Amino acid sequence: MAHVLPATAPGRLVVLEGIPAPVWGIGLLLLLMPALANNFVLFQIFGWSFILGMIALSLMVLAGYGGMVSLIQMTVGALAGYVVAILGTSGVPQISLGWPWWLYIPLAILIATLFGTLVGTLAVRTEGIYTIMITLAIAAAFFYFTRQNYTIFNGYTGFNNVVPPALFGVDWRQPVPFYYLTLGCATLSYLAVVWMARTPFGLALQGVRDNPRRMSALGFSVTAHRILAYSFASVIAAFGGILLVWQNAQVVPGTAGIPQVIDILVIAVVGGLKRPIGPFIGALIYAVLSVFSSDILLAFGMSGERFKLVVGLGFLAVVFFSPDGVLGLWQRWRARMQRSSRDLRPGGEMAS
Amino acid sequence: MGTLQNLSTRHPIWTFVVLVLVVGLAWLILAPWPPDLEQAMGRKRVFLNAILSGITLGALYFLVASGFTLVFGLMRNVNLAHGSLYLLGGYIGYGVAEVTGYWLLAFPVVFILVGAVGLLLQHQVFRRMEGEELRQTLVTIGISIVLADLMLWFWGGQSYQVLSPDWLSGPMTLPLVSSISANGEAVYLSYPRVRIAILIAATVIGLAMWFALSRSRLGILIRAGVDDRDILAASGVRIQYVFLAVFAFGAGMAGMAGIVGGTFQSLSPGEDTRFLLASLVVVIVGGMGSIPGAALGAVIIGLAEQIGLVYAPTYSVVFTFLIMAAVLAFRPHGLLGAQH
Amino acid sequence: MIPSVAERLNAAGSANALELRGVTRLFGALAALTDVTLNVRPGERRAVLGSNGAGKTTLFNCITGDFPPSSGTIRFFGEDVTRFPPHERIRRGLRRTYQISALFTGLSVLDNVYLACRGVSRGRFSLVRPRTGDTLLQSAENLIEAVHLQDVRDRLVGELSHGQQRQLEIALALAGAPRFILFDEPAAGLSPKERAELIEILTSMPKHIGFIIIEHDMDVALRVVENVTMLHNGRIFKEGPPEEIESDDEVQELYLGHGHG
């Protein structure tokens, strides 16, 4: 990543420095989207993209800034969703405790973050390539456990009727309010990550990614930094998980099933692991494909069920041709446009 | 064996504990149980069944995980499509057994076909990404997604059961006392013949692999390469051929394990994920790149799963997870893994 | 149980800065270091010389804490640090430079030095961005000036020349309040002019900072130190002041005959 300091003058709105110009444009468009799109698109495509984007952002923080590819993010989110269902209200009154929202939401975030941190402590003491294996195995254990356990997690059935509390008299699950809710959360997560990347913690994390031995010889505890990165990422994943459960109005073991866990990695990689906007791009592509894939496939004369095949092939294409994801593609294309426009300048120097 | 000697001299307390556990277990298995023990722990037959199922399941896990651990240990490639190769082998084996009527014939056919798929993958795909471990892993994820959907398309969502051949079906009597009958005679345990056959086969294969790895030139190279990649490069052998051989072998083994799994249990979508996860856990517990480690891990996980299933069904997953977490916490590289 | 500054200074007066006793390091069957016993006083300047494979870098790695010795103890200003991880030793005042520059090439010079300053002070996990006038930032700026790199303060390290990168390595070692520095071949690849600058930096360092320097370049090494330790095949072969070592027959035969840097 390019240089992170110098320090800012006091008073300036520091957070907004790291955001590339196109993102401002997108942001404006998103604010006005309800005027342009219908309810289905708002709820099912954008809402879902923001949520998946947040969880994938959590993965990007660990993989892009920390150099650790972790598959536990979706599980952390699902756990937060489960805690909300168990401590709050749901369609399973024999388990749900019916506590108020200002109790169960913070507790859900806390418990999910603790879980993520714990997984971090298990995963960071080995080389990077182990991290995928270890986090995948733990995610699987969680899935099987929630499926088998009926006393707390209600097993196969899970919890239904898990909806957001009606704060300020608004039904937050209606398309337009939900759209703004998820947009707000996604924006806050994005800003938090942009901010974090330029703090001493974020700087040190990137140092740990690039040369852990050197960081150790500068006085940093590499293990502590990595574990705290898991904590930071887990907070974001937890928020995403709660929103996801509200969107589906249910949480079941399959919310964090292995295909779902892997999909988050696919989303993050396809979008691009180098910049925080990448995961959201990947999530949008995924959501659109997911909703419209059967139509697309039928148009090509194939069975509408082969969605996964399309995803898999698309993912392979990205990994083969543009490991930086869609963002990487775009940046390379932009660089090529700039180079060729330099070439065409009258009397100008040839591009180097 | 040197590692074991090493371990026992350096950790005498643990060695003692393990020895006590092993002797205790041996007594539980071999000796007839007094009535108080049967009261406390249930019938000995149930216990014996759980143990044997655990060990035979462990044999199956070993067959799958051995290829995975070699590929990871040597090529640092976390092949997340390993489970798909398992399932593919199982489906193909089912087809061969159905068409020809010979169960045994399925094995060489599957080994060659799935091994060829592995060869192709290593040669055309992974070879071009030498050194980019994460990218290789991502590719294996993509391949697993594609393969899973293709298999779903071709074979559908139903369960397939590979029928064991007549000469292997049915129970056999084992020289293990399960109880004492009313007139004082020992009653021996009867257990499915095919599972014992697989156990024997897996042991033979495991020993053969271990022998090959410690004695043959290729084997020694592979083990050295697992410890230190640079040694391999410096040895002058064309590493790419070694990689091809190892990957193809690992894929072939996974495929054959698919036939076994299809015989023991069944084949359906989702089994690929299940056996990939089993391989992961076995290798995390047993140690990367170690065949004895894979055997040890497989037996531990197999036993934990089956015993858990019988005695504490809601929490068997937790046992496996706790074992994995404990190993990660205290020996992050696995029980028999090399400390890098 | 962190000793106070006064206690530490007191200990520094009485204890050796660095004390190795019977340090042995095995890699499998290979003994990289055998029974190394070394005492360096606070503020002393020492050179560790020897041919390739003599064990010099392994010695540094052991002292830094990259791996523990197979046997033996290491004491730093009176404290037994044999089992401490590297970052604990660094926080007690040890510093190290690397033979091949270990810098963060994707970050700017300022970022690199700031990280070094941050590593040995509190607030490593701080989520608060530094503002202008931040003391740590100021220290980083001062350090950059001390090694004459202020012109390239904002440039990415990957764009610096080799000589500038070596200067930056030294700046990183001077961050915070170092008490003892390990210089691993600081003169590697430097031009004669840069070498002269390096000698100037090394000789003009504050008197209370001791260091050990590994070097192939005898000129640089013997000019800046008071004592020399020679390693051969992982063992200490000879020790003494530079003039003695230079004129010693055995040393001449084994090492000086091999030419300079």
User: C173, C182, C2: which is closest to C74 by C-alpha?
Assistant: C182
Domain extent, residue A149, equals 14-305
Q: Is-contact A107 A270, C-beta < 8 A?
A: no
* pLDDT band (50, 70, 90) for residue A85: very high
Of C146, C176, C206, which residue constitutes the final position of a domain?
Answer: C176
pLDDT surpassing 90 at residue B59: yes
Same domain, C5 and C50: yes
Q: Verify whether the Cβ–Cβ distance C90 to A9 is below 8 Å.
A: no
Give B63 or A25, the one with higher predicted confidence: B63
Q: Verify whether the Cβ–Cβ distance B284 to A134 is below 8 Å.
A: yes
Q: Which chains touch A (3 or more CB pairs under 8 A)?
A: B, C
| pLDDT value for B3 | 55
Across chain A, mean pLDDT equals 86
* pLDDT band (50, 70, 90) for residue A94: confident
- For residue C104, list chain A residues with Cβ-Cβ distance below 8 A: 206-207, 210-211, 214
Minimal Cα distance from A67: which residue of B? B134
Same domain, C65 and C130: no
| pLDDT value for B90 | 94
Q: What is the CATH number of the domain that holds C74?
A: 3.40.50.300
pLDDT surpassing 70 at residue A146: yes
pLDDT surpassing 90 at residue C246: no
| pLDDT value for A242 | 96
The whole-number average pLDDT for the span B237-249 is 84
Same domain, C229 and C169: no
Show the CA angle centred on residue B243, arms to residues B238 and B246, nearest 5°. Answer: 130
| Distance from C-alpha of A274 to C-alpha of B301, rounded to nearest angstrom | 38
Same domain, C89 and C204: yes
Nearest to A316 among B139, B280, B325 (CB): B139
ipTM of the complex: 0.84
Residue A312 lies in a domain: no
Domain extent, residue C163, equals 101-176
Instruction: Pick the range with the lowest mean pLDDT from A163-167, C220-224, C248-252.
Output: C248-252
Of C119, C151, C176, which residue constitutes the final position of a domain?
Answer: C176
- Both tokens of A163, joined, read 């909806």
- For residue A14, list chain C residues with Cβ-Cβ distance below 8 A: 129
- For residue B272, list chain A residues with Cβ-Cβ distance below 8 A: none
Q: Verify whether the Cβ–Cβ distance A303 to B153 is below 8 Å.
A: yes
* pLDDT band (50, 70, 90) for residue B237: low
Span C113-167, pLDDT tens digits: 999 998 888 878 888 887 777 888 888 888 888 888 888 888 888 888 888 898 8
The whole-number average pLDDT for the span B248-274 is 91
Span A248-278, pLDDT tens digits: 999 999 999 998 999 999 999 999 998 899 9
* pLDDT band (50, 70, 90) for residue A20: confident
Report which DSSP code applies to A41: I
pLDDT surpassing 50 at residue A351: no
Same domain, C61 and C120: no
Same domain, C49 and C156: no
pLDDT surpassing 70 at residue A1: no
Give A124 to chain C, closest Cα distance, Å.
Answer: 16
* pLDDT band (50, 70, 90) for residue B1: very low
| Distance from C-alpha of A198 to C-alpha of A205, rounded to nearest angstrom | 10
Give B140 or B128, the one with higher predicted confidence: B140
| pLDDT value for B337 | 76
Minimal Cα distance from A304: which residue of B? B153
Give B77 or B42, the one with higher predicted confidence: B77
The whole-number average pLDDT for the span A291-317 is 80
Q: Which chains touch C (3 or more CB pairs under 8 A)?
A: A
Nearest to B138 among A258, A308, A319 (CB): A319
pLDDT surpassing 50 at residue C175: yes
- Both tokens of A169, joined, read 């008299």
What is the amino acid identity at position A121? Answer: T
Residue with tokens 């659109």: A288
Same domain, C188 and C246: yes
| pLDDT value for B266 | 87
DSSP result, A119-164: HHHHHTTS-HHHHHHHHHHHHHHHHHHHHH--SSS-TTT-EE----
**Radius of gyration in angstroms for the set of CA atoms belonging to chain A, rounded to a whole number:** 21
pLDDT surpassing 70 at residue A14: no
Residue A241 lies in a domain: yes
- For residue C134, list chain A residues with Cβ-Cβ distance below 8 A: 7
The whole-number average pLDDT for the span A162-178 is 86
The structural domain count of chain A equals: 1
Same domain, C7 and C130: no
* pLDDT band (50, 70, 90) for residue B339: low
* pLDDT band (50, 70, 90) for residue C255: low
For A131, B74, B139, B289, the CA distances from B119, given in Å and listed in that order, are: 26, 15, 15, 19
Q: Verify whether the Cβ–Cβ distance B134 to A129 is below 8 Å.
A: yes
Same domain, C167 and C185: no
Nearest to C87 among A206, A216, A228 (CB): A216
| pLDDT value for A8 | 44
Q: Verify whether the Cβ–Cβ distance C118 to A213 is below 8 Å.
A: no
- Both tokens of A130, joined, read 């182990």
Q: Verify whether the Cβ–Cβ distance A138 to B321 is below 8 Å.
A: yes
User: A186, A217, A225, A121: which is closest to C102 by C-alpha?
Assistant: A217
* pLDDT band (50, 70, 90) for residue A18: low
- For residue A9, list chain C residues with Cβ-Cβ distance below 8 A: 131-132
The whole-number average pLDDT for the span C195-204 is 86
Instruction: Pick the range with the lowest mean pLDDT from A209-213, B216-220, C143-147.
Output: B216-220
Q: Verify whether the Cβ–Cβ distance B317 to A148 is below 8 Å.
A: yes
Same domain, C167 and C222: no
Nearest to C156 among A3, A7, A213 (CB): A3
* pLDDT band (50, 70, 90) for residue C46: very high
The whole-number average pLDDT for the span B178-203 is 79
Give B220 or B82, the one with higher predicted confidence: B82
The structural domain count of chain C equals: 2
The whole-number average pLDDT for the span C65-70 is 89
Burial C125-161 (b: 16+ CB within 10 A, else e): bbeebbeeeeebbebbbebbeebebeebbeebbeebe
Give C181 to chain A, closest Cα distance, Å.
Answer: 11
pLDDT surpassing 50 at residue B98: yes
Q: Is-contact C99 C184, C-beta < 8 A?
A: yes
Strand partners, B177: B188
Same domain, C59 and C76: yes
C-beta atoms surrounding B234 within 10 Å: 10
* pLDDT band (50, 70, 90) for residue C1: low
Q: Name the pairing type of β-strands C227-232 and C210-214.
A: unpaired
Nearest to A196 among C107, C119, C127 (CB): C127
DSSP result, B239-300: HHHHHHHHHHHHHHHHHHHHHHHHHHS-B-TTHHHHHHHHHHHHHHHH-TT-HHHHHHHHHH
Q: Verify whether the Cβ–Cβ distance A219 to C176 is below 8 Å.
A: yes
The whole-number average pLDDT for the span C212-219 is 83
Same domain, C87 and C3: yes
Contacts with B301 (C-beta within 8 Å, 6 or more apart), sequence order: B58, B61, B278, B281, B282, B285, B320, B323
Provide the CA C228 distance to its chain's centre, in angstroms. Answer: 15
| pLDDT value for B6 | 61
